Amino acid sequence: MDHFRYVNRELFCEEVPVRELAEKYGTPLYVYSQATLLHHLSEIQTAFASAKPVVCFSIKTNFNHHISKLMAQHGSGFDVTSGGELYRALAAGGTGDKIVFAGVGKTDEEMKYGLGNNVLLFNVESEQELHALGAVAQSMGKVAPVALRVNPDLPPKTHVKTDTSVKGVKFGLDIETILDVAQGVVGHPGLSIVGLHMHLGSPILSNEPYKAGGEKGLKLIAELRKQGHPIKFLNMGGGFGIHYRKQEALPAKAFADVILPIVKEANCQLVLEPGRFIVGNAGILLGRVIFTKESGGKHYIIQDAAMNDLIRPTLYDSFHRIWPTHPAADLPAPPEDYEAEIPQTFKQNVVGPVCESGDFLAKDRNLPKVQRGDLLAVFSAGAYGMAMSSNYNSRLRAAEVLVTGGKHRLIRRRETYQDLLAPELDCK
């Protein structure tokens, strides 16, 4: 469910026409719906309520301070993958007892930062990391709470760059060796292995991988307890898919149906790390058409939102629905199936101004004719959009706006040319 809809052939975010936002704040512009954010957070909280889960919003999906504050105000903790993300979580009102520190390459300084703020769990992904964390904890007179991240070696589920639980990836401890690693730290004075972590990749459109992974997890938990580790947390990560093409994603309840019985059998506290599921469909990217052209028989829409604003299509070949914010009267708004024949459309490529052939948001997409100055909406852009943006080609990063009902407010100003040089001129 999201709160972006067309009314009388005009796109609205909640009760605000997006044209009004583009005119006030400029483009490219990220627009978020607060009602959508809170709806999806609540959907997770409700579906898993019987397990009283620790829900940790994955800051890497969207790090905006105001969105993080909203998450904290409505009961969410945070999943962080760096010292910077931990800093953001704490600044947004997060507390250590609801923060999980993930990531395959934590530095000693990041470990100290997490220990100093009493994070709930460190998701540990290698034997070396485990021993390094133990040494850092001992040097501080602390005991680090650890959830060992296992790679359960399941069949591929998503894009090769986002599948984290197949053999040979950098994530987690191999399922064949994790018990040997755990045995090697029994009685370690700086470590307490209290959990098992399993993140399966993203976005996942079936609950079957969670069932298969959970069943493997149950066996590992039993063995870890036999070794003497007081396992009390089962962290099933995130990865729940969203609607990119149409209504293809499962509701949170479908994942809860397979995860909750496993948690109950394990007699563990459930930890979840949703990100995309909460924020993905809560945001769109607005771009304004600069030019159109034909080259070599191909049609191009050149607009001011580019790969530096939303790199997912370039990086993952990902699909985002794109449609004019004010479609003509004889056009659907937007279509259910972009691959089908759509009246008054023809195949076009939506690209940006970046000096790269890889700068595109859509290829060979059935879209209507547009004109210089028209607005295009790129849907389902709330996750891994602004968070992965850059200043490539010295382009200014976009502004971000949060809409609540009929009101809207700037939650990140557009960068200036002065911002581009500031870190270089501030050198001493």
Please provide residue 151's backbone torsions phi and psi, each rounded to the nearest 5 degrees: -95, 105
Query: Active-site residue among 13, 56, 268, 355?
Result: 355
Rounded distance, CA 7 to CA 283, Å?
18
Binding site as annotated, residues for substrate: 276, 312, 316, 356, 384
> What residues does 324 pair with on adjacent strands?
376
53 neighbors 18 (Cβ within 8 angstroms): no
In angstroms, the Cα distances linking 143 to 53, 120, 194, 195 are: 23, 12, 11, 14
For 332, half-sphere exposure in the C-beta direction (CA atoms, 13 angstrom radius) is 13
Annotated catalytic, 56?
Answer: no
Rounded distance, CA 384 to CA 280, Å?
8
Rounded distance, CA 366 to CA 109, Å?
50
46 neighbors 265 (Cβ within 8 angstroms): no
Please provide residue 361's backbone torsions phi and psi, each rounded to the nearest 5 degrees: -110, -20
Binding site as annotated, residues for pyridoxal 5'-phosphate: 239, 273-276, 384
Biggest CA-to-CA distance, the chain: 71
DSSP-derived secondary structure letter, 321: -
Let me know if 247 is exposed, middle or buried by CB neighbors in 10 A (0-12, 13-18, 19+): exposed
Contacts of range 138-143, beta carbons closer than 8 Å, 24 or more positions apart: 138/189, 138/190, 140/112, 140/115, 140/116, 142/115, 142/190, 143/189, 143/190, 143/191, 143/192
Nearest to 26 by CA among 398, 376, 378: 398
Torsion of CA 97, 103, 105, 109, to 10 degrees: -20
Q: Which residues contact 135 (CB under 8 A, 6 or more apart)?
A: 190
For 364-392, the DSSP string reads EEEEE---TT-EEEE-S-SSSSGGG---G
Using DSSP's 3-state secondary structure scheme, residue 130 falls into helix
Catalytic residues: 355
